[in-house]
Structure formats: C-alpha cells, structure tokens
Amino acid sequence: MALIVQKYGGTSVADPDRIHAVADNIAITKRRGNEVVVVVSAMGKATDNLIALANSVSSKQPGREMDMLLTTGERQTAALLTMALADRGVEAISLTGSQVGIITDTEHRKAKIIEVKGDRVRAALAEGKVCVVAGFQGVSTAKEITTMGRGASDLTASALAQAMDAESCEIYTDVTGVFTADPRIVPQARKLQKIHFDEMLEMAGAGSKVLALRSVEFARNHDVPLHVRSAFTWEPGTWVTNEEASMEDPIISGVVTDMTEAKVTVFGVPDRPGISAAMFEPLADANVNVDMIVQNTSTEGTTDISFTMPMADMAHAEEIVSRVAGEINATGVSHDNDIAKVSLVGAGMKSSPGIAAKMFRVLADESVNIHMISTSTIRVSVVCAAGDMERAARSLHTAFGLDSGADYSAPLPTRK
C-alpha cells in the first residue's frame, strides 16, 4: 500500500463542481488501495478576497490577526471536500495545520516550519481514513496560528510528504505541468517531462508561481520528488527530482516572468561607507525580501540606488525607506509598480558563455529597454517596463529554441 500526498491549488477547488471532481479523484486513488493525505488551498481567489477585506477595515493589520483570518480560507475547503468525500462513502477527516502539528517559528505571514509532528495524520490513516489538511498554515512555538507565505500550500504538501515518508507528492494545479514558460504568457511554451530541483529552484526564485519557492527548497533538501500535474485533464505532468540532466538537455530550460515586484529608487545618496547597510539593514529586520539592487557610480559625491521588492511588502517598506532616506540626507525617493522581471534559467548556462549577451541582443532587437540586470550561475534576470514583458518573454523563448511548435491547448481556467 502506497502513501500518496495530493495537493490541490485554488483554481482546482474553486467551486462546488471542482470540489466534486477533486473528491472523485481522491476516491479513485483511495479505492486503488492507497493511503491518501490531501492538502488543499483556499477556493479560487478566497485568500485575495480576505486580504481585500482586511485592507478595507484596517491599515495596521497585525500579523496575528491576518493569520487568524487567512487560515479560514483553507479550513473552509478542507471541510467542504471532506463532506463531498463522505457522500462518496470515503471516510475522511479534515485537519488544520495546527491539528496536524505543523510547528513553525513565530514570524506571522512568513512563518518557517520547524517540525511536522503528524500524529493525528498517522492515527487517521491507521483507521483507514483520508486526511484532508488545510494548507499554508501551522502553529507557532508560541501556540499562535501562523501562515507560511503566499502559495505555501505547496510547502505544506512537500513537508507532509517528507514527514509521512510518502511514495509520491502530487501537486495538482490548473496547467498540465511545468512548462518552459508560463503558458498564459507564452502560448508556445513546451511541457517539461522532468526538471531538476536546482533549475526549478531558480525558476521559482525568479518568480514562476507554478511552485512556491520554499516548497521546492524543502523538497530538494529532503529529496521529495514532486509531480506537478493538472486537476482538469488529470494527465501525467512534470517530475521535479534530483535526477541529473542528460547530455541532450537544452542549455536553457525556461523563461520566467514576474510582475509581482516594484522598484524603489533613492536619489542623491551620499557616496560613503555604511550607506547601503543603513538602507538595507532595517528592511531586512522588517523581513522585506529585497531582490535586485543597482547602485550607479557617483557623480560629485552622490549616487542613486535602485532596488526591487515584492509589491505586497511595499506599504510596509515605504515608511522605512522614507525614514532612512531622510536620515542619510538623500534628495528623494520614487516608486515604480509598472515593472516586470524576465529571467532565463538553465543549468547548461554554467558551461555556455554568451547567454547573457545573446539575451540582451534579442531584447535590443525588440526595443525592450533594460532597467536592471542580475545573474546567478544558472540564471540571468532583467527588469523592464511591465508593458514590454510579454514581448520580451516570447521573443526570448523563440530565440533560445524553446517554442513547442503549437500553442498550449489544454483548458486554461480563468482564476475566479
């Protein structure tokens, strides 16, 4: 008997019809003789709606209260799906992250997992039940309810798969696997049969939302293979594993697009030691994930510093940046939400010089103006205007030989 973890994302459980379809798949998996642990996300846009609701009643939004609020989305799906399973004669129990014993640190909204106890999951499985776990959440060492960051139901799934020693961890979503680019943006994107953890990590880190970054980190560190697949067509998807690339694998495995970041520029910063530390230490202390940083060469003793960060952290970061800008006598601060990041990712880059140069040439030919550049050993990222993102991604996809030859054909459900 195999133990299978199945995670269903928001679109996959967005309405009663979807919940019925998912319940059918779980019932089939169980009747085939498997033990099943299910992890669910909030229905459709439920989390976004709860955040909008919080925005409409408060500008403070204490982390503890946000987590009390946001965890209800996943809890709702877990209870509803368990009821649908009851109708199918499948014995099941819904459990919150806290009931499962997902113990986290005390950082509300971005909590990190310390331990997964899983006693109640083991007990329920021993009674022959399916466990339906509310994703994205845990309980802190201070006994408070926490959430683990946007998209973190993926993390709940990989952590439970590891803790339960599952045979496989299936991530069901609204596309048929991991593609060479987001098929919603690059219709010519090609489905990958497999991808190495390292490349998936860079893709997730560059902003591809198909898998949450920390779920890939966790899966890689604990060697939990992930199978990303569709809850709409149910066909086999993409395996994310530690299998080494074969000789024929292309140099570039994907083009990643990300519109979730904003750019901040601090003008007229005095050019002296300690200024960057003065700016970025308070942001780090406030848990703001600063991504790219560019500092111009100074003219007449002052310089400009630009950096990107998640738009979601902006309100929080704005106060800090203005305060520090005042303290260091900078002449001004500007914000730009209208930007996008486009990245090329591929393990083969390590041994193939010239990838960045070719990327810049392709973008130049498309008249895409590059605002910022950053690189790692297997990734090159640029920031451009949001309006240029689609053109940039499609032209890079074609230029690096990734086009599949046919537009993506599986249903692409709209996100409610």
Residue 182 binds what, of Mg ion, ligand ADP, ligand ASP, none (CB under 5 to 8 Å, by partner type)?
A: ligand ADP
73 interacts with Mg ion by CB under 5 A? no
* One-character DSSP codes across 340-366: EEEEEE-GGGGG-TTHHHHHHHHHHHT
Residue 163 binds what, of ligand ADP, Mg ion, ligand ASP, none (CB under 5 to 8 Å, by partner type)?
A: none
158 interacts with ligand ADP by CB under 6 A? no
Alpha helices in 88-208 (DSSP H): 97-100, 119-126, 153-163, 197-205
Binding to ligand ASP, residues 181-220 (CB under 6 A): none
Contact predicate 416/44, CB 8 Å: yes
Q: Between vectors from CA 359 to CA 254 and to CA 238, what angle results, nearest 5°? A: 5
Q: Tell me which of 64, 184, 316, 358 binds ligand ADP, using CB under 6 A.
A: 184
208 interacts with ligand ADP by CB under 6 A? yes
Half-sphere exposure of 402 (CA within 13 A, CB side): 30
Provide the minimum distance between the beta carbon of 387 and ligand ASP in the complex, in angstroms, as a whole number: 26
Provide the minimum distance between the beta carbon of 153 and Mg ion in the complex, in angstroms, as a whole number: 7
The residue (of 209 and 220) whose beta carbon lies closer to ligand ADP is 209
Type and span of the H or E element at 17: helix 16-31
151 interacts with Mg ion by CB under 5 A? yes
Contact predicate 37/166, CB 8 Å: yes
Which residue, 327, 332, 331, 333, is CA-closest to 277?
Answer: 327
The residue (of 125 and 240) whose beta carbon lies closer to Mg ion is 240
The residue (of 44 and 151) whose beta carbon lies closer to Mg ion is 151
Using the contact rule CB under 6 A, the part of the chain among 144-152, 185-193, 241-249, 373-381 near ligand ASP is 144-152
- 103 — phi, psi (to 5°)? -95, 130
Helix-strand-coil split of the chain, %, nearest 5: 40, 25, 35
Which residues, 6 or more positions from 10, have their beta carbon under 8 angstroms from its beta carbon?
A: 41, 42, 43, 44, 45, 46, 47, 415
Contact code string over 8-37 relative to Mg ion, x by CB under 5 A: -x----------------------------
136 interacts with ligand ASP by CB under 6 A? yes
Contact predicate 388/369, CB 8 Å: yes
Report the C-alpha gap between 40 and 74 in whole angstroms: 6
Token code pair at residue 46? 């439920």
Contact predicate 40/77, CB 8 Å: yes
Token code pair at residue 93? 């129990």
Q: Tell me which of 4, 5, 6, 10 binds ligand ADP, using CB under 6 A.
A: 10
The residue (of 90 and 163) whose beta carbon lies closer to ligand ASP is 163
88 interacts with ligand ADP by CB under 6 A? no
Residue 162 binds what, of ligand ASP, ligand ADP, Mg ion, none (CB under 5 to 8 Å, by partner type)?
A: none
41 interacts with ligand ASP by CB under 6 A? yes
Binding to ligand ASP, residues 277-336 (CB under 6 A): none
Contact predicate 39/133, CB 8 Å: yes
The residue (of 208 and 395) whose beta carbon lies closer to ligand ADP is 208
Q: Are strands 293-295 and 3-8 parallel, antiparallel or unpaired?
A: unpaired
Q: Tell me which of 118, 135, 177, 346 binds ligand ASP, using CB under 6 A.
A: 135
Task: Provide the 10 A C-beta neighbour count for residue 249.
Answer: 17
Report the C-alpha gap between 252 and 206 in whole angstroms: 14
237 interacts with ligand ASP by CB under 6 A? no
Binding to ligand ASP, residues 146-175 (CB under 6 A): 150-154
Q: Tell me which of 110, 209, 214, 229 binds ligand ADP, using CB under 6 A.
A: 209
157 interacts with ligand ADP by CB under 6 A? no
**Tell me, what DSSP letter sits at residue 10?**
G
Using the contact rule CB under 5 A, the part of the chain among 2-10, 71-79, 131-139, 224-232 near Mg ion is 2-10
Residue 67 binds what, of ligand ADP, Mg ion, ligand ASP, none (CB under 5 to 8 Å, by partner type)?
A: none
Residue 11 binds what, of Mg ion, ligand ASP, ligand ADP, none (CB under 5 to 8 Å, by partner type)?
A: ligand ADP
Q: Mark residue 234 as left, alpha or beta (left: phi above 0; alpha: psi -120 to 50; beta: remaining).
A: left
182 interacts with ligand ADP by CB under 6 A? yes
Instruction: List residues near ligand ASP by CB under 6 A.
Output: 9-10, 41-42, 47, 73, 135-136, 150-154
Instruction: List residues near ligand ADP by CB under 6 A.
Output: 9-12, 41, 151, 173-175, 178-179, 181-182, 184, 208-210, 254
